[in-house]
Chains A and B, each alone.
Chain A
Amino acid sequence: MLGLSNMAPRQLASQLLNFALVLSTAFMLWKGLSVATNSPSPIVVVLSGSMEPAFQRGDLLFLWNRGMDTQVGEIVVYNVKGKDIPIVHRVIRRYGGGGKSALRLLTKGDNNLADDTELYASGQSFLNREEDVIGSVVGFIPFVGYVTILLSEYPWLKQAMLGIMGLMVVLQRE
Chain B
Amino acid sequence: MSETAMDRIAKATPPRVARRIKGFSDRTIAWIFVAPTIFLLLAVNIFPLIWTIRLSFTNYRANRPNAELDWVGLRNYQRILNDGDIWQTMQATAHFLFWTLFFQVLIGFALAWLINRKFKGNDLWTTIIVLPMMLSPAVVGNFWTLLYQPQIGLFNNIVAYFTGADPTSFSMIGDVALAPWAIVIVDTWMWTPFVMLICLAGLRSIPDSIYEAAECDRASKWRQFWTITVPMVLPFLMLAVLFRGIENFKMFDLVVQLTGGGPGNTTTLTSIELKREAFEKWRTGYSSAYGIILFVTVFGLASIYVKALNKVKER
A and B found bound together: no
**Which residues of B are in contact with A by a Cβ distance under 8 Å?**
none
**Which residues of A are in contact with B by a Cβ distance under 8 Å?**
none
